[in-house]
Structure 1
Amino acid sequence: MPVVAFADIGKAAKGLLGGDKATGTFQFDPKLSVSSATSSGVTFSVSATQKADKVEPSLKAAYSTKKYSVDVASDAAGKVTVSASANDVAPGVKISTSAVVPDPSTAKLTIDYSMPYLALKGTFGLNATPVVDLAASTGYQSVVLGAETSYDTAKSALAKYNFAVGYHAADFQVAALLADQAKTLKLSYAHNLTSTSTVGAEISRKLASADTTFALAYARKLSNGALTKFKLDGAGTLSALYETKLASGEKVAGSLQLAATDLSKPVKYGFAVDLA
């Protein structure tokens, strides 16, 4: 089995605290999404998100097979992002490219290489002075080690370098990340208590100033198939999510956020409706 990629070290805690498909994502702006698929396999997704007094639309079309995929996405600013990928170009090799039309300077080429004990990823800007991103990870059984760096050829300098170590067991993950050019230490933990409930935590500490932040989260899938999640951070902000799928197929989610240490502050709330 291929080793865990650098970006996926501590993935369970990242998804629980930051949002993913398995544990849901907090949505504090009203959002409506409509998705459909054609008989040829092309999927279309249209969404509209209300922010303040503005509605920001977005559109995405995607087509994929086992070996190829093509995505075209347009956002509220009118930017059109085109991306494509090809799997198994060679054993363990995946190649992908992306660009924002019509700006050729945004074009990038990414090469992923994975094997049982090594995962490599390189992203190269396709312009005269590219930024080169490199990531590598290796491991044995449940232990994984990794590093990533970014080199800006225009400045002839490293733009970033991060290091990570993790332990990925069947029911829990522990990870440590040294980020921001070794200026920030992040420790994360996620544990599947049962087949339907997960807890997680992250502590982040600035090594120079000793500033520390933390976040705790708990997600549970109810007997009716609905998903609930709660998150509390070091500032006393409590967030709650309830997500369910209706009998007719629509997915509905509602989010609530309040300052648990100061209930006089206004409450934030939002919802998301996905019409499939």
Structure 2
Amino acid sequence: MAPPFFPDISKNINNLLNNDFYHSTPAAIKVNTTTNNGVKFTVNAKQPVKEGALQADVESKFFEKTTGVTLTQGWSNQNRLNTKIELASLAPGLKSELITSYTPSVGAKNAKVNMSFVQPFFAAKGTFDIFKSPLFIGNLTLAHEGVVGGAEFGYDITGGTISRYALCLGYSARDYNLALSINDARITSASFYQSVSKILQVGAKATLNPQRGSNVGIEFATKYNPDPTSQIKAKINDGGLLTLSYKQDLRPGITLGVGTSLDALKLDEPIHKLGWSLTFSA
């Protein structure tokens, strides 16, 4: 089995801590449809802040089987054009993609080229940012019998300097994962994830950031599936911030998610958040 890419060494705990919490967006709607010839359309609309304007975009995705090319085209209500071209058949284990965005009203443009190569015992990925510096970001992971180690670095081609770096070491067993990482800012984190059963997952992450003092920040999260159509998640950190969410499949293709964030140390202050998300798939 191929190792994960560097950002995915801690994927399980990161998903548990960050995914399916809806409090940060007061309202969100997503519609997914697929045509008979395989073209996928996605419409997203969300309200980033309470009483703020909606951010919306429409996206189409087309896969050409004979050439292995995937084309994704998006257009947002901010008049931003997003394009993604993926090539998955260059060589065994080698994939490449071009990601661009362009905002005609202000002339803003971005373009990145991603290359990835995966083999049974290692995985490598590189990102070249065409319009910034230019900047190259690369990472490499190696794995053996559950142990995986990786490194990531950023290289400023114009300045000829290393702009950033990070190291990570992890261990994966059948039902749990451990990970330890450090970066050039001396931010150190250690995480633990366990799938206790088919319906219960738990995990914790401790982070030491020297820029914020000598105290260690700790987060704990859990996910519980009462039945195949519902999900309950809870997260709390050492600062007393409690986050709760509930996701329910109302019927096949329709999913509702609601979430809230509460400061357990300031329950009498109006700083709590509430959000919801509705997803349609057809």
What is the TM-score of this pair, normalised by structure 2? 0.89
The structural deviation recorded for 1:224 is 5.2
Structure 2 Cα separation of the partners of residues 47 and 129 of structure 1: 32
Residue 25 of structure 1, aligned match among 21, 24, 30: 21
Structure 1 gaps of 5+ residues are none
Pick which of 86-95 and 66-75 moved more: 66-75
Structure 2 gaps of 5+ residues are none
Structure 2 Cα separation of the partners of residues 3 and 238 of structure 1: 33
2:171 corresponds in structure 1 to: 167
Structure 1 Cα separation of the partners of residues 210 and 129 of structure 2: 32
C-alpha distance after superposition, 1:211-260 (max 9, x if no partner): 42111101011125201100001211111110011125311010011111
Structure 1 Cα separation of the partners of residues 259 and 109 of structure 2: 38
1:1-276 paired onto structure 2 within 5 Å? 1-19=1-19, 24-28=20-24, 29-50=26-47, 51-53=49-51, 54-64=53-63, 67-101=68-102, 106-127=110-131, 129-179=133-183, 181-207=184-210, 209-223=213-227, 225-247=229-251, 249-266=253-270, 267-276=272-281
Amino acid at match of 1:40: N
- Preserved contact between residue 258 and residue 265 of structure 1 (Cα < 8 Å): no
In 2 relative to 1, CA 155–254 (structure 1 residues): closer, same or farther, beyond 3 Å? same
Structure 2 Cα separation of the partners of residues 222 and 160 of structure 1: 43
The structural deviation recorded for 1:206 is 1.8
The structural deviation recorded for 1:73 is 2.3
- Preserved contact between residue 221 and residue 228 of structure 1 (Cα < 8 Å): yes
In 2 relative to 1, CA 75–213 (structure 1 residues): closer, same or farther, beyond 3 Å? farther
- Preserved contact between residue 97 and residue 113 of structure 2 (Cα < 8 Å): yes
* RMSD after superposition: 2.0
In 2 relative to 1, CA 120–70 (structure 1 residues): closer, same or farther, beyond 3 Å? same
- Preserved contact between residue 29 and residue 44 of structure 2 (Cα < 8 Å): yes
The structural deviation recorded for 1:155 is 3.1
Structure 1 Cα separation of the partners of residues 57 and 195 of structure 2: 35
Structure 2 Cα separation of the partners of residues 123 and 239 of structure 1: 34
Q: Percent identity?
A: 23
